[in-house]
Amino acid sequence: MAKLLTGIEHDLGGLFVKRVLPHKEKTMVGPFIFFDQMGPSDFPAGKGINVRPHPHIGLSTLTYLFEGGILHRDSLGNNLEIQPGDVNWMTAGKGITHSERETFEVRANKHRINGLQCWIALPEHMAEIEPSFTHTKKSELPHFIHEGIMMRLIVGEAYGMSSPIKTYSPMFYIDIAASEGSRIERPHPNQETAIFTVSGKVEVDGECYGEGEFVLLDEHDSAINVIECGRFIMLGGDKFDTVPHLFWNFVSFSKERIEKAKDDWENGRFPDVPGDNKEFIPLKKKIKAV
């Protein structure tokens, strides 16, 4: 039967998040090794998101907002603001540095943030590829509208749609708004699948789940029934045969590679973020590796 995975709250530079993955009962869902719910949080003028420059290896980050705006900067020279419905997809590969803050126009006024951030592990043979970044507008993403169901495919492939965002293993990540009484079949019965309910209520195999709940579907759970109009994210993909190690912001199938990344960050061998190189997040040495 489906399993409810409860998140743990963390503070990320003034932004409180609920982190579901990695979970003690399930480290990954398909290639998804990290799942954060950001907010919903309200900020007064002068306060907000302030995630200083920090490094990554061995993964892609996926940022998707429901409300608000985040200013992304990275060591490749990218500097842009993500808006609700758009997608930031950053592939760290052999190493990248980035920061997540806000524009002056956002920070100087009362504002709200609400969204999701995921990490997607790269397959072992692609873990050291060159870093890259893609910003995709919501108008460029595939949509499906039929009988009270609206879907936006963010990454991967599902329901005959294919996202323009380049991924590195079979996966899907879908934003769904549906009316009461709708029934939505899981897109790939043989792939691991989870849902996150943004609003409303859904039913899986006789159990009801509501706002803010992350539910891992069982291999026999074939569909989601919407019992109260709302919105939810459906994600998943092929199960990894081997679960990579995760320490702080580093993902790798090699513990030695993680040790090298730790040493590189401590000794300033990661590239700087142009325009945002006056401060950084120190290495978190006491985090327990997964």
| Displacement of CA 100 from its chain's centroid (Å) | 14
Within 8 A by CB and 6+ apart from 17, the residues are: 9, 10, 36, 37, 38, 39, 117
Q: What is the mean pLDDT of each run of 10 residues along the chain (290 residues)?
A: 92 79 96 95 94 97 98 98 98 98 96 97 98 98 96 98 98 98 97 98 96 96 97 98 97 98 98 97 70
pLDDT reported for residue 289? 46
Burial 15-34 (b: 16+ CB within 10 A, else e): bebbbbbbbeeebbbbbbbb
- Cα–Cα dist 197/211, whole Å: 5
How many CB atoms within 10 Å of residue 116?
A: 23
| Structural domain spans, the chain | 3-237
Decide: 151 and 175 in contact? Cβ < 8 Å.
yes
Task: Kindly report the length of the chain.
Answer: 290
- Cα–Cα dist 235/90, whole Å: 18
- Cα–Cα dist 47/108, whole Å: 8
Sheet holding 70-74, edge to edge: 51-56, 96-101, 70-74, 79-82
- Cα–Cα dist 4/91, whole Å: 29
SS (H, E, C) the chain: CCEEECCEEEEECCEEEEEEECECCECCECCEEEEEEEEEEEECCCCCCCEEEEEEECEEEEEEEEECCEEEEECCCCEEEECCCCEEEEECCCCEEEEEECCHHHHCCCEEEEEEEEEEECCHHHCCCCCEEEEECHHHCCEEEECCEEEEEEEEEECCEECCCCCCCCEEEEEEEECCCCEEECCCCCCEEEEEEEEEEEEECCEEECCCCEEECCCCCCEEEEEEEEEEEEEEECCCCCCCEEECCEEECCHHHHHHHHHHHHCCCCCCCCCCCCCCCCCCCCCCCC
**Domain 3-237: assigned CATH number:** 2.60.120.10
Which residue, chain included where needed, has tokens 């709708």? 182
Decide: 82 and 154 in contact? Cβ < 8 Å.
no
Within 8 A by CB and 6+ apart from 48, the residues are: 14, 15, 101, 102, 106, 107, 111, 113
pLDDT reported for residue 284? 83
First-to-last alpha carbon distance for the chain, in angstroms, is: 25
Q: The tokens of 10 are what?
A: 């963390």
